[in-house]
Structure 1
Amino acid sequence: MSAIDHPINKKTTGKLKRDTLVSFAPDHAKQRKSSSDSSIPLADVHLNRRLDILPCSSSQQSTSFSVAEAIAKMLEDMGVQYAFGVSGGAIAPLWQALQHSSIRVLHFRHEAGAAFAAAEAYFASGRPVVVFTTTGPGITNALTGLFAARWEGAKVIFLSASTSTSQRGRWALQETSTYTMPNAGIFTSGDLFHYATTLECSDELPEVYRRLAKGFARPDGFVAHLSIPTNIQTSSVKTSLSRVALSAAPAAASEETIAECARLLSEEPFAIWVGFGARFAAAEIRQLAEKTGAAVMCSPRGKGIFPEDHSQFVGVTGFAGHSSVLRYMQEYRPLRTLVLGTRLGEFTSFWNPVMIPKRGFVHVDIDPEVPGTAYPSAETFAIQSDVGMFVKGLLKHFPKRQSRSKALSFPRPKRNVINPSASGPVRPEVLMNVMQRIIVEGSDAVVMAEGGNSFAWAINLLRFTKPGRFRVSTSFGAMGHTVTGVVGAALACKGKAAAIVGDGAMLMNNEVSTAVKYQIPAVWIVLNDGRYNMCEQGMAYVGFKGADATIPQVDFVKIACGIGAEGIRVERESDLHVALEKALAASEPFVIDVVIDPTQIPPSESRNQSLISQGATNY
């Protein structure tokens, strides 16, 4: 492959070369490597394999396959293990074909929940996940979760039904056609789907197969939509789908580009800004930091990629970030910052000019459109490359560890330990302290945070030392993502996943009943303060008084037990320890209903200040 390695200075003109390798030679699947020896995501490795949909020998061509069966086989060979969705008459043939395949099919309560769970199952397993729905509202219900999957960089294929040709324009039940629904965006490739099409004939399957395989082999995310009319699902496959392998080598910077980056970073002390896109290069980033003495900060989604207890870690940036980061940038302002795998978007940077180094950024990302976008006026040396490959190459230019005399004592995030009180309600800071001991340090559970104040408390107060332990959606940021996504995460990681959620999100769209049905050991920790508190507190902050965001007080334990889960209600801080231990020990889904003090102000001032700067204020 011709590597894409042309550096761009945003103050000059430049063009990236783009070459794609499509290999038709069989390639066997490889086992996933740890972050210490590979930066290639599991999904990309699995898709470098032979995809054999249907036998193509003359003795077997007479075998009759339906389109639905062919699609199920195609998905099996692409490494799909799970399909989440809600059934319906129009999708029945495909639903049955999936159930008769090796793919595990889970029937969810709501299509949006299925889509959120699919995104989190992808991040937990590295394998593409299917979402299936019926026509009409089944499709529209799933769109929010699918948007989140696209923004988060997941690999998801959306299978939906559409109205048969002969019924279109005749007011069929939940008619799904150009007569009743917009075609552009939902059924065509664009801002939502990297690839979307309506399958009108089995002869189109080879091209669909090729496009999906190529998309799943991408080093970044891929969300596709395959709409299949009901009559096409049961039609016979007339075209043989031959054996073919599609592989895409990750973009790599040239030796000359890496050498130039090393030169720029060697001029004066530099900082490293780690994002979620660097999650497969944790070991290499740590080596680079320790060899160079660089200060390290991370985005909210990047927590744990670099150990938060490391002496060179200065804190989390952006939303609910640490004041130690701003103190570092003001007192130790680096000449340049090496940005690895983050868009530097609003929740990561708030586009704060304090975060711009003296000579700008060296920005590495797999997406060539990312570098220079958040800070268009800042000097940016841009490299399109896989982060792990780039850092490995960069390490060769820093062969020796810097002397201790060059190491600086950087500002560090403060960690306040608050003693629990014997009376309630529970302060969120105390809950996070107990969670740190019991769940973060005392288990290997995945920890997730829902949109709202849950974001803020978890990002600011929890500390992670390993990648893959923390998940938060600060990209699309949809409420309902984590209360449903935790089911997909717990299923795919084959262990515990704990979601920190608000009572508003829990009422909006949860999948506790789905976890009960399939005995998935998900844990919900509900911050129950009887209101959409981020909305109420935020409105007051920006000057709009009297906003009513209250919710009638809910007993989530009664709801959980009524569904078939276990639960415990916590009204005193002294009871938190036992409640969290019970949740971890339970083999069933578990809900902890924590009565939270609504007067406590979360560390979300930066978000409110950003809103004021954008004009959302009454002052």
Structure 2
Amino acid sequence: MKITIARDLVELIEFLGVDLAFGISGGFIVPIWQELTRSKKINVIHCRTQAGSVFCASEYSLCHNKISISFATAGPGISNALTGLKTAKLDGARVIFISAVTTEYHDGLWGTQETTVLNVNTLVQDDGQGYLDKVFVIKNEDEYLQAREDIQKLVASNKHFVIGVFLTTVVQTLTIKKRILADIPTTANLTNIVSSIDFSMLIEILLAKKSLFWLGFGARYAGNNIQKIIELTNSAVITTPRGKGIISEYSLASVGTTGIGSISKEITKQITGDSSRYVVVIMGSRLSELSAFYLQKNFSNIDLFYVGLEADKVRNNLPSNAIVFKSNIQCFTETLLSALQNKVIHKPAVQYPALMAEFVDYIIKDNNDSDKVIHPLVVMNIIQRVAINKNNCYIAAEAGNSFFWASHYLKFSQSGRYRLGTAFGAMGHYACGLVGIAAGFKECAIGIIGDGAMLMANEVSTAVRYHLAAIWLVMNDSSYNMCRQGLEMLNSDPLDCDIPVTDFALFGRALGADGYQANNSQQLEDAIVAAIKNRNPAVIDVRIDKNAVPPLKDRIETLKGFIDD
């Protein structure tokens, strides 16, 4: 039986468990687009921006723990997607990006959207840099068959990846003999930790000292094990922003969040002030700037352990005293839990002070006058009560001040319910990626989006087209306010950060979504309640106080350090 390579590639993708593809088509990718559309197992969401389609694919992959597809045409389709691809790579998504090469080498003919093999190969760099982890350029049947085998092996490795598959238009329509797909055994990635001297030492120290577990997004699947471990050892927990909810933030063990919106100095003071009696165990984070603000650099005189499969990549971001376990966190915590359960525990209970603001601390009243702006803390209060506590919505915070307000004040009792991009910090990430979160969930997804990001890129029209329960809550202060406030805090001369007043409620309605205007707390609460009830794509324009300063002191201190250096 003969089959086109485009059809065979789609059957391979189906075989790998893909059920949703996001993209924007163009002439050089039509055969693949047609086959994706014909698929009975893969739904296609046709987006509005190439970067947005990758943001959507990445968020869908991370939220559902699946491989996702993004596709775009050659030339500008690829270049426009690069920010999304870099973000997906840094966030640990599993995305296959499909596009085209138009010619093998630059031939001097200057064809439309010319894309060469060299163009796409340069997207992969040494040491994990670049925009893609691996590139497959397919110009003939043999290259396709080899790529198909390599892709299956990569999927079976259980690693996260962002790969590019680039085919000439001619090869997409080439017919080949149909081959039966067979599973490739999944490979494990677990260092033998049971007999490790360091592992035995960790157990003894956990039982003897005050212990603090520092959890990142990579530890999300080990939450049940970690919960039992902290109960056995009377440990405290801090998380990175993406790790919020792995251990309920209402738990007595939870003492705060690091990185954006954190109180790093308070956390440092608590630990280093009693360094001889503390042990810190870090799991599932690269400890990037926005995840940690390099808090770990202050732990050079305490017992410090790091656990994660990417330990080699993180080693340079740890103090020299850190003991590293290169291990799958789920397997590691299972082994650790078993070892602890076999010990006689006599460790007394320890009271760990909560270092972050409590929910009741930020209730700010407004007078409900229709011509007033809303304090951002009022916005957070309503999101907490209505969207999170009552309706269990997924929440995403866009790059900018929304990062800080949400990470500092919102609390979660489940992992994976709060999404933000601390690795690349790309504006437009969740103004677009909100569609990827909303796809496949029965609960609404709410994006806390700055007006600057909303004007930069969004996928509201896509949500309208596919009837997704996505709500854009726009923090409208008519300014690139994080930049404006940052300049003030750095004692720099003011620069132009103003944005003309935009009616985002009208903007949403113009795109076919529901639109709501909120100038006070009651209007905002009514809007969120109505948007969640109606389950239509919605844009809520929230006029906020631009002079309210978010908890970004740690970020400013980091910038000052760079400037002083």
Compute the TM-score of the two structures, normalised by the length of structure 1: 0.85
Q: Which residue of 2 aligns with 1:104?
A: 43
Q: Which residue of 2 aligns with 1:535?
A: 483
Q: Which residue of 2 aligns with 1:265?
A: 206
Kept after mapping to 2: 8 A contact 1:313/1:412: no
Tell me which moved more, 584-593 or 406-415: 406-415
Cα separation, 2, equivalents of 1:356 and 1:134 = 48
Kept after mapping to 1: 8 A contact 2:249/2:413: yes
Determine whether 1:73 maps to 2:26.
Answer: no
Q: Deviations over 1:484-518 (max 9, x none)?
A: 01101100334311110100000000000000001
Q: Which residue of 2 aligns with 1:385?
A: 327
Determine whether 1:335 maps to 2:278.
Answer: yes
Q: Which residue of 2 aligns with 1:583?
A: 531
Cα separation, 1, equivalents of 2:461 and 2:255 = 41
Shift of 1:616: 6.7
Give the AA of the match of 2:412. Answer: F
Cα separation, 2, equivalents of 1:574 and 1:426 = 10
Shift of 1:417: 3.5
Counterpart pick for 2:116 among 177, 181, 197: 177
Q: Which residue of 2 aligns with 1:128?
A: 67
Determine whether 1:89 maps to 2:27.
Answer: yes
Q: Which residue of 2 aligns with 1:161?
A: 100
Cα separation, 2, equivalents of 1:164 and 1:238 = 25
Q: Which residue of 2 aligns with 1:291?
A: 232
Q: Which residue of 2 aligns with 1:326?
A: 268
Map 1:148-547 → 2, pairs under 5 A: 148-164=87-103, 168-178=107-117, 181=119, 183-185=121-123, 191-238=130-177, 240=179, 242-257=181-196, 258-322=199-263, 324-333=266-275, 334-352=277-295, 355-356=298-299, 358-375=301-318, 377-399=319-341, 405-415=348-358, 416-422=361-367, 423=369, 424-547=372-495
SS at match of 2:95: strand
* Count of residue pairs brought into register by the alignment: 553
Cα 1:114–1:487 shift into 2, 3 Å? same
Kept after mapping to 2: 8 A contact 1:339/1:362: yes
Cα 1:92–1:187 shift into 2, 3 Å? farther
SS at match of 2:2: coil
Give the AA of the match of 1:522. Answer: A
Kept after mapping to 2: 8 A contact 1:421/1:574: no
Kept after mapping to 2: 8 A contact 1:272/1:296: yes
Give the AA of the match of 2:290. Answer: F
Cα separation, 1, equivalents of 2:440 and 2:385 = 24
Shift of 1:83: 1.1
SS at match of 1:80: coil
Shift of 1:229: 0.5
Q: Deviations over 1:48-79 (max 9, x none)?
A: xxxxxxxxxxxxxxx22111101111100011
Tell me which moved more, 204-213 or 140-149: 204-213
Cα separation, 2, equivalents of 1:167 and 1:411 = 61
Tell me which moved more, 266-275 or 242-251: 242-251
Cα 1:264–1:256 shift into 2, 3 Å? farther
Shift of 1:350: 1.8
Tell me which moved more, 153-162 or 580-589: 580-589
Cα 1:307–1:89 shift into 2, 3 Å? same
Cα 1:407–1:196 shift into 2, 3 Å? same
Cα separation, 1, equivalents of 2:467 and 2:278 = 53
Kept after mapping to 1: 8 A contact 2:233/2:347: no
Cα separation, 2, equivalents of 1:270 and 1:404 = 11
Q: CA RMSD in A?
A: 2.2
Cα 1:465–1:349 shift into 2, 3 Å? same
Compute the TM-score of the two structures, normalised by the length of structure 2: 0.93
Cα separation, 2, equivalents of 1:387 and 1:233 = 40
Tell me which moved more, 213-222 or 86-95: 213-222
Considering fraction of residues, name the structure with more helix. 2
SS at match of 1:273: strand
Map 1:5-44 → 2, pairs under 5 A: none
Structure 1 alignment gaps of length 5 or more: 1-62
Kept after mapping to 2: 8 A contact 1:428/1:457: yes
Shift of 1:332: 4.2
Kept after mapping to 1: 8 A contact 2:101/2:117: no
